[in-house]
Structures are given as structure tokens and as C-alpha cells.
Amino acid sequence: MHSKVVIINAFEPEDFFIAQLSKAYDDAIIERGISAELLFVNNMSFSFTPFPDQYTYDTLEPDLQKSVNAIKGASTVAFFTSANKDKVVPIFTQFVARLFHLKGGTINNDIWGNIDAYSKTLRIITVLDDPDTWKQFRNNRKPSLVPMPKINFGLFGFGQVFSRTFGYLKEGYVLNEYARKSMKAMRIMAEKD
């Protein structure tokens, strides 16, 4: 399979730090000559339904169809989102719930078709915007402090799933030393994709 990276940005427009991390990753991917596609979940139009399993590919909204096509054609998918102590950005949760749900105990084949290869890589990059949660997470790296939806992405063709969590920027919109180190980590991560 050729290398293609799909970057799915699922954060609020004012989330400066996660936007900078996504840009650093995207820039590094492009510098390597790898095909990259950016999807911005906030710019998508889709309904928030409690019954996502009733959808087929043909009945999905056009933005979700585009997302499915991009994800199916990717070798790596990278989600960028932010969270506080209570929840991940709602648009990310809704996007994931609409596409990565189970139907009858397995993936929704009416959306994804048959998954026959498990060679994709998934990266979930999160910025914890809450100082207290970040401090707790930094001290013991407990995954339960990052309120991500619990999904078995392996069922959707992802053989490797990596998660990386960063803290908030104390100075807000200033790229301080921590921000520069974090952006460098994203560039190193991109070298592996």
C-alpha cells in the first residue's frame, strides 16, 4: 500500500496549541513527500443521531462519505483533538460515534464494507486543556484521565493504535519551550508514518 496520511482535525477553532501540533505534523508529512489529506470536522455538516447503526454508506451525509473514503484509502489516520477533565470536544465524539460504531457486534459493513487488512496506523493526539487533569496525567499517565470514546479501532482495519497526550500552554497563544518541544515530537512522529 502506498503511503497516504489523513489528518482529522476535531477541535474548536480557538484551540491554538492543538492546531499548532496538527500543523507541525502535516508540514513534516508533506516535507517527506507523503500524500496528506486534511479533514476539519468543525467544517462538516452531519446530524448528531443516537442511532448511527441505521445508516449505510449511501445514506451518510456527503462529508461523512468523504471521510470514509479518505480513511479507507489511508495508510495512517491521525486524529487531533482536545479535552478537559470531563469530556473530549463534542464534535470529535459525534464524528467518531457516527463512523466507528458496531452493528450486530461487528463493524457496520453497510458503511465500511469488508475489512480485510489490518495494516493501517491510527494516531490519536490530544491536548488536555485542564491544568489539574494535565498535572494528574503527567504524574501517573493514567489513560482514564483522558476521556476518549472507548472504541476497538482494530475492527476497522487499524493494526497499530498510538495515543499521545500533551498538556495545555500556560501562556495561551505563545509558542514557549514546551510548545516547541511538543511540535518537534510531532515532526519525529511524522517521520515514522
Return all residues near 24 (Cβ < 8 A) that are at least 6 apart.
183, 184, 186, 187, 190
Q: How far is it, in rounded angstroms, from Cα 185 to Cα 59?
A: 39
Q: Measured between alpha carbons, how far is residue 71 from residues 47, 102, 191 in Å?
A: 20, 17, 20
What is the pLDDT at residue 60? 94
H or E stretch including 27? helix 16-31
What is the pLDDT at residue 111? 93
8 Å CB contact between 129 and 83: yes
Q: How far is it, in rounded angstroms, from Cα 1 to Cα 116?
A: 13
Q: How far is it, in rounded angstroms, from Cα 171 to Cα 16?
A: 11
The percent of the chain in helix, strand and coil, each rounded to the nearest 5, is: 40, 25, 35
What is the pLDDT at residue 144? 59
Per-residue pLDDT tens listing for the chain (193 residues): 458 999 999 988 788 889 999 999 999 999 999 999 999 999 999 988 878 888 999 999 999 999 999 999 999 999 999 887 666 778 888 899 899 988 888 899 999 988 877 789 999 998 888 777 777 777 776 665 565 667 888 889 899 999 888 988 777 667 889 899 999 999 999 988 8
8 Å CB contact between 178 and 186: no
What is the pLDDT at residue 1? 45
What is the pLDDT at residue 52? 86
Q: How far is it, in rounded angstroms, from Cα 6 to Cα 152?
A: 19
